[in-house]
Chains A and B, each alone.
Chain A
């Protein structure tokens, strides 16, 4: 199977501090891939590097075999990679419906059009209604997104990332701060929207990770120490030491 995302010796420094220290990773098309690691390991930074929010200090990123290193985020999005954010990042004054509609605009090929009237575009509006139905926010579509509850905002966050039909979806801690039942709903949602797509997610909740992921990568201090199936990761000695805080015994 060919790779969706391929990272080659990826590096990122902030001043003298190197946060990402040579990451190599090959994420296959159609797999659900989780990235785990202790706090401060650089998981979110890695996401920002892949999605174009940060510029690379070194190395290469390719998407579906095409080099995307240091492209602006919107170029990367147009090539088929979409992401959500750990800290909710929506359009707070726009209505929920408008949020979703905006996230569909590019993929429905409106570009910077000022010769269409959005309310007249039936296909666009139907599609927005579908997405709202999918993320369970139909009844809340007319309120400003800023007044949604936390869990609803998280659902919208995922919806914005998934709506445009990108074939690689990256979710940064989609269930952070959610209650048990909300987490279960979120998992269901993620499962539904990523059918036939590639999913990359950062997640702290091991239950979610082992439930969803086909493969797991463990990032520790800017390096990937293991990439394997959930079963093997669970039994991996190095991972247990690094991730679960068990002291390594040096000879």
Chain B
């Protein structure tokens, strides 16, 4: 008896760990991160990351889970941001006093409100029609922001002061690190809510609509209503992200709701992988790192992000998360080691090739944009004169040799991949 009870307990705790483990880990990670990365730039980056994670996840409720390609999701993010900035100003003017902590809710509500309005006509069909309407609405709201100056503040936007609200537990959000914890709490709550949403009947029907919007009507559901509800939920969470953006930066401008921001969120979700719940989280983290760190080293970081996006679309449509997930079968069969050497053998020449290509781009960029007469540039700490022949020869050698070796190493990598993913012998025999 006691043995059975023990086994049951073990099973129970295992399933408990399985169910809540990732969440505990997430919470713990959010709490301890600032202890490891405590510089100003790190906190700045993490704050932006948190905001973008919520934003990208809300976007994926449309794209990955609902099959709706939106080119105007920044509308709900930006409007949520503007509303929150106004709320912070109301707080400052003693018109409507609430703690700053709950301001993002109002951002969410305005996102929801506009999603209800736009969704009421845009969710009739998915596909091209939906995409075109989202693009049109995006342009419409962006141009409104220069017309209705009272609400949008024209070109300079609206700014506010987040420290004016009533203090909660003695925190007035004067420090970025305090805002970090505010964003972390909101991120945890919204990630959990969006995850839970995907596990509800509604979330499941959103997947079904994505898969086959015709058949869903023959099992009792209106495709339009399913899309509409997903759309509203997505707008709500985007608005919350916008509210956090407003609190973090204390300014919101037209740029936060225009097509550029809509493009950024699409990029983040896609690079991370729209087919996985965690995909947009990965995408937001990678994108923010590229944006804040890579931009310290190179002026053409956006070009690299663009190349990353295009190569994701072409070669890894499942995104970065998909690339990791590809290795799970081999990992389960304990065969990842088979891949280590082939990866190194293919990886080194690939790095050479990439170094050559980016060296070429950087040097070209320097030649075109540097001040007249300035011909020395520095790359990876190496100084050289762009108007001599030597750097170009090195670049050419890197590209040609790297490219050739990469090509010759590919067959062995493919072979190793097949070997690592071959079905287990016992499976072939039919035994478990």
Interface residue ranges of A61-94 to B (CB < 8 Å)? 72-74, 77-78, 82-83, 85, 89-94
Q: Which of B201, B212, B218 contacts A51 (CB 8 A)?
A: B218
Q: Is the CB of B217 within 8 A of A77?
A: yes
Interface size, A (range): 35 or more
Is A98 an interface residue, CB under 8 A from the partner? yes
Q: Is the CB of B222 within 8 A of A114?
A: no
Nearest B-chain residue to A78, judged by Cβ: B220
Is A116 an interface residue, CB under 8 A from the partner? yes
Q: Is the CB of B196 within 8 A of A160?
A: no
Complex formed: what's the CA distance from A161 to B233 in Å?
30
Is A107 an interface residue, CB under 8 A from the partner? yes
Chain A binder among B109-117, B151-159, B202-210 = B202-210
Taking CB atoms, residues of chain A closer than 8 Å to B221 are: 74, 105-106, 112
With a 10 A CB-CB cut-off, give which of B205, B220, B226, B229 has the most chain A CB atoms: B220
Complex formed: what's the CA distance from A102 to B204 in Å?
7
> What mask results when residues 150 to 172 of chain A are scored 1 for a CB within 8 Å of chain B, else 0?
00000000001100100000000
Interface size, B (range): 20 to 34
Q: Is the CB of B207 within 8 A of A94?
A: yes
Complex formed: what's the CA distance from A116 to B229 in Å?
15
Taking CB atoms, residues of chain A closer than 8 Å to B167 are: none
Q: Is the CB of B218 within 8 A of A82?
A: yes
Is B385 an interface residue, CB under 8 A from the partner? no
Complex formed: what's the CA distance from A92 to B233 in Å?
25
Complex formed: what's the CA distance from A187 to B219 in Å?
22
Is B365 an interface residue, CB under 8 A from the partner? no
Q: Is the CB of A85 within 8 A of B215?
A: yes
Q: Is the CB of B201 within 8 A of A77?
A: no
Is A149 an interface residue, CB under 8 A from the partner? no
Complex formed: what's the CA distance from A106 to B13 in Å?
34
Please report A residues at the B interface, Cβ cutoff 8 Å. 51-53, 72-74, 77-78, 82-83, 85, 89-94, 98, 101-103, 105-107, 110-119, 160-161, 164
Name 9 A/B residue pairs within 8 A (Cβ), A-sorted.
A91-B215, A93-B210, A98-B208, A102-B208, A105-B201, A112-B229, A113-B200, A160-B215, A160-B219
Sorted from nearest, which 8 A-B pairs have the closest CB atoms?
A106-B220, A91-B211, A73-B217, A110-B201, A114-B202, A114-B200, A77-B220, A103-B219
Please report B residues at the A interface, Cβ cutoff 8 Å. 196-197, 199-205, 207-208, 210-212, 214-222, 225-226, 229, 233
